[in-house]
Amino acid sequence: MRNEKELLELINVHLEPQAVEIKREQNVSVELAPKNLIQALSFLKSHSYQHLSTISCVDWLEEGAFELVYHLFSYDDYINISLKTRIKREPGIFQTAKEIWPVAEFYERDIHEFFGVEFKGNDNLEEMILENWQHLPPMRKDFDTREFVNDQYEWRDYNGQKHTD
Amino acid sequence: MNNNFVKGSWQEILDWAQNKSINMLHYCTGCGAIELPPTMTSRYDMSRFGIGPAATPRQADLLLVTGYLSTKTLRRLIYTYEQMQAPKFVVGFGSCTINGGMYWDSYNTIKQLDKYLPVEMYIAGCMPRPEAILDGLLKLKKMINNGEADGYQRYQDNLEFYHQNQEAVLGEVQRTQ
Amino acid sequence: MLTKYIFVPAAAAFAAYILNKKNKKAGATITALVSAYLLLSLALIYGSWELNQSFNLSLMGYQLEFLMALTPLSWLFAVLTSAISLLIAVFSIDSQADFKFSSVFNLNFLLVIGSIMGVLFARDFLTLFIFWELMTWTSFYLISSGKKKMAGRAAYRYLILSAAAAYSFLMAVIFIFQQTGSFAFEPAAEFLLNNSAPQSILLLLAISLPFWVKAGIFPLHVWVKDAHGNAPKEFSPFLSGMLLKVGFYGLIVVFHQLSFFKIIENTIAYRGLPLLSYLFALLGAVTIITGTILAIRQEDMKKLIAYSSISQMGYIIIGIAIATPLGFSGSMLHLMNHLIFKSTIFLALAAVIYRTGTTKMYEVGGLIFRMPLTFAAYLTAIIALAGIPPTNGFISKWVIYQALIEKGYLFLALAAFFGSIASFMYVFKPLSTVFLGQLKPQHQEIKEVPLLMKIPMLILIGVIVLFGVFPGIQMNIISQISGDLGIETVNYSLYSIQGAFGAWNSLYIFNVFAAGFVIALLVFGLAKKSKLVGLLDTYSSGEYVTDAESYHYAYQYYRPFDRLFDNLAAKSLTGFYETLTANLLKSGESFRRIFAAGRVQNYALYSVLLFVILAAVGWII
Amino acid sequence: MDKSTQTEIFFGPNHPGVPGNYGIIYEFEGDTVTSAKANAGHLHRGFEKLMEERLWIKNTALVPRICVEEPDINEMVYAMGFEAIGEIEVPRRADYIRSIILELARIQGHIFSIGGNAAGIGQYTVMHWGTLTRDYILDIFEEITGARVYHIYIRPGGVRQDIEDETFDKILDLMDELENERFPDLEKTLFENPNAQKRWQGKAVITKEEAVEMGATGPVLRANGVPHDLRKMMPYAAYDDVEFEVPTYENGDAWDRIKIARDDMLQSIKIIRQLIQNIPDGPVQTDLGNGLKYKIPKGDAYVKIESKRGEYGYYMVSDGGLKPYRVHVRGASTPLGLYGVREFLPGTRIADVPVWAKSLGICPPEFDR
Amino acid sequence: MIDLIYKIGHFLLITVFATALGLLFMGIARKIIARIQKRYGPPVYQPYLDVLKLFGKDAITHGFIFDFGAVMALGGVIATLFFIPLGSWQLYSMEGTVLLVIYLLAVASLGMAMGTVGSGNPQASIGISRALTQMLGYELPFLVILFSLIFRYQTSSIWGLMQAQAGSFLNWNLFAYPMMALVAFVVLIGMMGKKPFDAMIAPSEIGSGPVVESGGKYLGMLLLQKSITIIIELALYVNLFLGGADNIFSFSFKMLIVWILATMFGSLFPRFRIEDGVKFFWKWPLGIAILQALYIII
């Protein structure tokens, strides 16, 4: 049973973090360079952080980066770690974590579908949620859903009044 | 003339039987489906109006589109609708089928069901309460009894219109042979 | 003249062999003509039961007498043989082209027919033995000429069992000969009756061994599946329809004409039935159950039907063993009916194999729209096999049930019920997987079989329905047989049979059936016309099906049911048996060479040993 | 594998055995599934995109629709994320009310899913009774929030309105009725039914290692003897003030998971009684100003709570604007519904596929989003 | 001639009566199940409306075997019906032996199986494979019961078996051989495909099994077939165990009692998996039936 501080010490010693932060009780956030991340995941997994909640992706359009966030949890420490890393938005390629957590394959597939991020080593990246999607990956910030909807669908006509925001 | 009369009254009898016995396809297309179990089960019990569930489209008369329709579902819904046997009725359920409702700006849901399938009636609400559903279905029964629920004929008559709309959002649409 | 029934096919056999070298269709045509001739001349001698013939031969100081005679029993079997071989020959005229050894096939086929005739008319052990062996050998060549690799091994197993049994037959016969100085049946029967009972029983059991093997009764059924599954598709109907039945002919001869039943009459009895007879009947019951369970598991259509043959043989042996008037009539009826519907099934499947080239059921599907007549033949035959009224198959089973219930043989009845209900399962499997369901893409272009193949199937359909309505035709000859054998006859008319607890009346059934179907047709016809759609336009949870191949359920059709017997099957099929045969084959390399050379006198000695082992193996399977 | 021995079945989306608009495409041989894959995405509405387009307050109406079976957890976890980023304190009474609502939602969710599970094996009577029982709870919701299913009641800073004391009494009465009348009925018809045991025991087993490896939580883990419950491990709302047990079983099969659902309901009743007894007075909402102008500082938070099916998490990012910058939903059944189908369904008998799908609590909208 | 017309009229009358009664029973069952489930339930006459509606609907067919199957299914049960004594009302029932009836019912099953598998839907095939497996399960104990009854009363005609129980109601096989009657009741539930023995139509597993592709008049015909089958099976039970009846009214009443009991029994159990069902039949009903049969023959 480690507390947050002991955990951060462990991370500082072993993982070369760019920044660490105790967000609040039982929640820790760690920023890492992309090259260290996969290694950090397997390190933490072997230190009781066996539970991968999910992988989130944030599109920082202005900074030209995708931020990948791996949420880990330990059944021993009861601490949630968010491991963050930023990769270049173009071309948006990263390593797969499939070898560490097989289930990551599907989280990565999801991110690939909605952000267009490629994961090297994960060859199962075909469409899963959408069907015949021909446009920009929809969760990217430069995809404008309202414009798309205006083009694709017709609004119901309420006596000349359009259905709007 | 006599023949027509017989035919007419036979059709009336069939309409009457149809209105008393409706099998609803068990297809939860959207979140509105969560209010169907209460409607079907002990508290509201729609079976007392002769409305029951059906497992496959072949046995169903009523396609209840329970809520928003993603394009992926729409493709399957069209195929399912075409597998159903006339007379068949479509009821749009929830605001999302009318104008997109809550998801009016979603890139993946359609906004007006009646452009793709011939809708007999809509039940508004997000989501409609069981009472509203029952009320809607009772009205549908009345429509069937009066021979006004003729969606499947409209679909046949305006096949091109519907197909065009369907293909506009889905691209190629698989149909029954 | 009875010898002509033997020598005409034999002579024609060589003619067929030579002519077939010139024209591939000649052999089968000759077979057909000869069978037709035999059938016709047999029909002409119907009723002349006093016909007989004998030759005398002096050999090494012994005076040998060869006796032949016509009895109602042998007449019936001879007619069945020639009729079925006629149909098969006609059927096989067109399929000879893709047959490698077609000349040899026809040679052997005619020889088999001739030797069966010899067996049927023989009234002494020596004649019986000679023709029996001839039949065994020629049919061995027929089985081994099947296309599959396994055919050699399957035939080999068949041969070993037959030869070993023949050996025991010979021993017993020679013993009797030493005592009576004659090979003829009558003196033998007399001797056996007066001899001490245990010894007579042993001798008769030894004599009957070849017949048990041929009839495929548990535990000697090991050869049936492989032989059927691998025999040429044209020969399978004959194998299952006729060859198995010749075994029953032999058994009836042993039981009645050699007075086996008289000998055991006064031994310990269960519910009025001598224990030994009851044991035979129990063997039949076990045969039914084993055959049925194994048939349900099969994925190969010919093997499935082969196992079904095994299980149907169980019914016949039960009827013969309990030997009541109803039981005997029932099993004779069933014997005939089984010949008819099983041949139909095999011919229909042969047609399928002829067109698709596979015997695996899951590799075909949806053939009904391509081969409707074959389907109709198969359907009629399985309705009969499953014993569904109004077909002939139901009548014979009904009579057997009556016989069993009359005496209160609960466990025999239980097996009979089991086999009958479970037969729905295994006959429906080929129906569902071969003829119904999705048509495989590679079979889109298949056509119905040629006319000459259709004709036999059509005739058989007709016969099934005919005997379904008029069982009296069959009962006529059966009552003569029972009269000849000294069994009371059952009351019957052209279309009814009197059972123990009520009568069967096919006219009523037909009336009622017609009424039912007319009403149903009216309901169907008066309703709206329906629209024809393709097989792929089917409920698939809203998804669109494109792949007909995988939208077809065929493999392991009754898996949940098979699970109930997995332990049993795994133990017998894979474990014990495989290791045993492997060891046997390994240690007996030289032993196999003797077989290949075919020196009968040498292997006869080995075969006794082998027989014991194989019987043990068979018991497990 | 020989292709001709395999049969392909489309299990859903339009199939009575699947939970919702979701499909499993499986191939089977004989009666055993040999390979399977999830056919998800039929319910995709692009929630995460839509939330980026809406004001913070407007999203409270959107979030419950993510999981229709148990909408309140979404409201709660959204509010928690907002409060975590904005470092907003919630009045204690609001915490209590939130917990009461969440526990009521848990009971209705469990009883509904028990009904669904029973229907999956053909016990429709239990489904009817269960749905009826659930309706009583929906009545309470209607009285508190004005809506049956989507309440939009828990919102950033507290709850929308206070609960009257009479309503508390009604809740307590209902709890008594559930405990004394409804649950014994259920016990007799379902849990003591030998057939039901036969259908569930040893079926759809997910072991502890498999569950941890793929990140499945809640009943899946607890059925393997791991007392993992976020209400205990990372207490939120008022859960640190109440006493309750986390039910666990050892076999990891469908039967254990369904028994956990039953035991969970009993615990929830206990929790609700304690909460109502100890509820403090005070406001139910922190004043956050004009709803249309809600703003929180730049930051991010991963918040998660214990839904009836396990860990339910939101990763929320704020750029300091009027709208969320990014919200990512982690549904409780995401790993099972996508990855688990492929990995653990093969080997299941086709008769047990609905047992598999229903007992694992797969809720498609939360991974379709 | 008059005789023929009389006979044809009789055929039609019996068919219509049995269909009507069967549909009524189905309506009653729905009502009962609804009440158990705390519902109001559809009106009792709902099945009539269903049939009427189904015959008015369009339908699709998958080829002649699909049509033939439906006709064979309905024709088979109608033919079977004529061999069953319904109270004092009977046509060929004097001729009909009970074994014949069992096998005649198989005609209908085979027709239905063929037609539905002919639709090319694997889910229908699975359903049929289950139905046939289950048939083996329940027919075996039932045939053993018939064996003992026939042996006991030395007649195989249903009429004779019914007559044998005449006199006081204590002569009914229900009281004379209660265990046998109980086994037959369980078998009856299996025969009618009620829960827990409805794995062949399990909607949540295989759509709705055999009827997955049947719509319109095909479903209508199968509904008619089902209703007549119910009457045949109930009539068989009443004749064999409840001593039949003198007139059609008390006969119908007895059938109704059995039907209501079977319905209530069925609504309390989840369905068996197919091989568990077969195992159950072979363990308890078959075991008891064999013991009873041994008792009778010894």
Q: What is the model's pLDDT at position E22?
A: 92
- Cβ contact, residue pair D14, C559, below 8 Å: no
The arithmetic mean of pLDDT across residues C325-337, rounded, is: 88
Tell me the shortest Cα–Cα distance from C517 to chain E, in angstroms. Answer: 4
**Are there at least 3 beta-carbon pairs closer than 8 Å between E and A?**
no
- Cβ contact, residue pair A102, D339, below 8 Å: yes
How many domains, in total, are found in chain E?
Answer: 1
- Cβ contact, residue pair B58, E214, below 8 Å: yes
Determine what percent of chain C is predicted with pLDDT higher than 90. 0
Tell me the shortest Cα–Cα distance from E124 to chain B, in angstroms. Answer: 12
CATH number assigned to the domain comprising residue A138: 3.30.460.80
Q: Given CB atoms, is B41 within the 8 Å cutoff of chain D?
A: yes
Tell me the shortest Cα–Cα distance from E167 to chain C, in angstroms. Answer: 22
Q: Which two tokens stand for residue E192?
A: 């009618």
Residue E24 has pLDDT above 90, yes or no: yes
Residue A143 has pLDDT above 80, yes or no: yes
Q: What is the model's pLDDT at position A161?
A: 65
Query: Chain E partners of C388 at a C-beta cutoff of 8 Å?
Result: 103-104, 106-107, 110
Query: Chain C partners of D27 at a C-beta cutoff of 8 Å?
Result: 550
- Counting one residue from C and one from E, how many pairs have CB atoms under 8 Å apart? 247
The arithmetic mean of pLDDT across residues E201-214, rounded, is: 81
- Residue boundaries of the structural domains of chain B: 20-127+145-168
The arithmetic mean of pLDDT across residues D262-287, rounded, is: 88
Residue D63 has pLDDT above 60, yes or no: yes
Query: Chain D partners of E269 at a C-beta cutoff of 8 Å?
Result: 123, 193, 195
The arithmetic mean of pLDDT across residues D119-127, rounded, is: 85
Is A44 within a domain? yes
Residue E4 has pLDDT above 50, yes or no: yes
Q: Which residue has the higher pLDDT, C163 or D38?
A: D38
Task: Classify burial at B130, counting beta carbons within 10 Å of its beta carbon; exposed 0-12, middle 13-18, buried 19 or more.
Answer: buried
Q: Flag whether the ipTM exceeds 0.85.
A: yes
Residues 6+ apart with CB under 8 A from C72: C49, C477, C480, C481, C483, C484
Is A157 within a domain? no
Q: How many residues does this entry show for chain A?
A: 165
The arithmetic mean of pLDDT across residues E201-220, rounded, is: 83
Q: What is the model's pLDDT at position C605?
A: 45
Measured CA to CA, the distance from residue D99 to residue D196 in angstroms comes to 33
- Cβ contact, residue pair D198, E196, below 8 Å: no
Residues spanned by the domain of A42: 4-152
- Cβ contact, residue pair E42, B85, below 8 Å: no
Tell me the shortest Cα–Cα distance from C547 to chain D, in angstroms. Answer: 9
Residue C615 has pLDDT above 80, yes or no: no
Looking at chain A, which subunits does it touch, using at least 3 CB pairs closer than 8 Å as the criterion? B, D
Q: Given CB atoms, is E28 within the 8 Å cutoff of chain B?
A: no
- Cβ contact, residue pair E39, D121, below 8 Å: no
How many domains, in total, are found in chain A?
Answer: 1
Measured CA to CA, the distance from residue C606 to residue C609 in angstroms comes to 5
Is A72 within a domain? yes
Query: E175-189, pLDDT tens digit by residue?
Result: 888 888 889 999 998
Q: Given CB atoms, is B106 within the 8 Å cutoff of chain A?
A: yes
- Cβ contact, residue pair C539, B56, below 8 Å: yes
Residues 6+ apart with CB under 8 A from A161: none
Q: What angle do CA E143, E144, E147 make, to 5 degrees?
A: 85
A68 near A56, Cβ under 8 Å?
yes
Question: Looking at the partner chain, which of C540, C543, C552 has a beta carbon nearest the beta carbon of D7?
Answer: C552
Query: Chain B partners of C542 at a C-beta cutoff of 8 Å?
Result: 27, 76-77, 79-80
- Cβ contact, residue pair C541, D11, below 8 Å: yes
Is A146 within a domain? yes
CB proximity under 8 Å: D 88-117 to B: 112, 115
Question: Looking at the partner chain, which of D13, D29, D351 has a beta carbon nearest the beta carbon of C555?
Answer: D29
Per-residue pLDDT band at E25 (split at 50, 70, 90): very high
CB proximity under 8 Å: C 483-502 to E: 499-502
Q: How many residues does this entry show for chain D?
A: 369
Tell me the shortest Cα–Cα distance from D180 to chain C, in angstroms. Answer: 41
Per-residue pLDDT band at C584 (split at 50, 70, 90): low
Helix axes C372-385, C451-469, angle to 10 degrees: 30
Per-residue pLDDT band at C581 (split at 50, 70, 90): low
**Per-position DSSP letters for E193-247, written without gaps between them:** T-TTS-TTT-HHHHTTGGGGG--HHHHHHHHHHHHHHHHHHHHHHHHHHS---SS
Tell me the shortest Cα–Cα distance from A159 to chain D, in angstroms. Answer: 27
- Cβ contact, residue pair B45, E58, below 8 Å: no
Average confidence score pLDDT of chain C: 80
Query: A45-98, pLDDT tens digit by residue?
Result: 888 888 888 888 888 888 888 888 998 888 888 888 888 888 888 888 888 888
Residues spanned by the domain of D305: 3-368
**Are there at least 3 beta-carbon pairs closer than 8 Å between A and C?**
no
The hierarchical CATH code for the domain B20-127+145-168 is: 3.40.50.12280
Residues spanned by the domain of E28: 2-297
Average confidence score pLDDT of chain D: 86
Residue D344 has pLDDT above 90, yes or no: no
Backbone torsions φ then ψ of D82, nearest 5 degrees: -60, -45
The arithmetic mean of pLDDT across residues E22-46, rounded, is: 89
CA torsion sign for C482, C486, C487, C493 is: positive
Per-residue pLDDT band at E27 (split at 50, 70, 90): very high
Report the phi/psi class of residue D169: left, alpha or beta, with left for phi > 0 and alpha for psi in -120 to 50.
alpha
Peptide bond just before B87 cis, omega within 30 deg = yes
Report the phi/psi class of residue D156: left, alpha or beta, with left for phi > 0 and alpha for psi in -120 to 50.
beta
Tell me the shortest Cα–Cα distance from A47 to chain D, in angstroms. Answer: 14
Query: C472-507, pLDDT tens digit by residue?
Result: 888 888 888 888 888 888 888 888 888 777 777 888
How far, in Å, are A53, D98, D107 from residue D307 at the CA level?
14, 13, 11
Mutate to test the interface with E, among C399, C436, C545, C551 (most CBs of E within 10 A): C436
How does pLDDT run along chain B (177 residues), one tens digit per residue?
Answer: 455 666 678 888 888 888 888 888 878 888 778 888 888 888 888 888 888 888 888 888 888 888 888 888 888 888 888 888 888 889 888 888 888 888 888 888 888 888 888 888 888 888 888 888 889 889 988 888 888 888 888 888 888 888 888 888 887 877 776
Question: Looking at the partner chain, which of C369, C438, C532 has a beta carbon nearest the beta carbon of E61?
Answer: C532
- Cβ contact, residue pair D313, A71, below 8 Å: yes
Average confidence score pLDDT of chain E: 85
CATH number assigned to the domain comprising residue D314: 1.10.645.10
Helix axes E98-117, C392-407, angle to 10 degrees: 140
* Total Cβ atoms within 10 A of residue B67: 32
Element (H, E) at C546: none
- Cβ contact, residue pair B107, A152, below 8 Å: yes
- Cβ contact, residue pair E49, B20, below 8 Å: yes
Q: What is the model's pLDDT at position E23?
A: 92
CB proximity under 8 Å: A 12-51 to B: none
Backbone torsions φ then ψ of A32, nearest 5 degrees: -135, 155
Q: Given CB atoms, is C559 within the 8 Å cutoff of chain D?
A: yes
Q: What is the model's pLDDT at position C579?
A: 56
- Three-class secondary structure of residue A56 per DSSP: strand
Query: Chain C partners of D23 at a C-beta cutoff of 8 Å?
Result: 541-543
CB proximity under 8 Å: B 88-107 to D: 102-103, 105-107
Report the chain C residue with the minimal C-alpha distance to residue D7: C550
Query: D130-151, pLDDT tens digit by residue?
Result: 888 888 988 888 888 888 888 8
CA torsion sign for B83, B89, B94, B95 is: positive
Q: Given CB atoms, is B64 within the 8 Å cutoff of chain D?
A: no
Q: Which two tokens stand for residue C249?
A: 């002919």
- Counting one residue from B and one from D, how many pairs have CB atoms under 8 Å apart? 88
Q: Given CB atoms, is E122 within the 8 Å cutoff of chain D?
A: yes
Is A160 within a domain? no
The arithmetic mean of pLDDT across residues E112-127, rounded, is: 87
Which DSSP state fits D66?
G
Q: Given CB atoms, is B126 within the 8 Å cutoff of chain D?
A: yes
Mutate to test the interface with C, among E91, E147, E232 (most CBs of C within 10 A): E147
Mutate to test the interface with D, among C364, C541, C546, C563 (most CBs of D within 10 A): C541
Tell me the shortest Cα–Cα distance from E40 to chain C, in angstroms. Answer: 31
Report the chain B residue with the minimal C-alpha distance to residue E214: B58
Query: C401-417, pLDDT tens digit by residue?
Result: 888 888 888 888 889 88
Q: What is the model's pLDDT at position B87?
A: 86
How many domains, in total, are found in chain D?
Answer: 1
**Are there at least 3 beta-carbon pairs closer than 8 Å between B and E?**
yes
Q: Given CB atoms, is D16 within the 8 Å cutoff of chain E?
A: yes
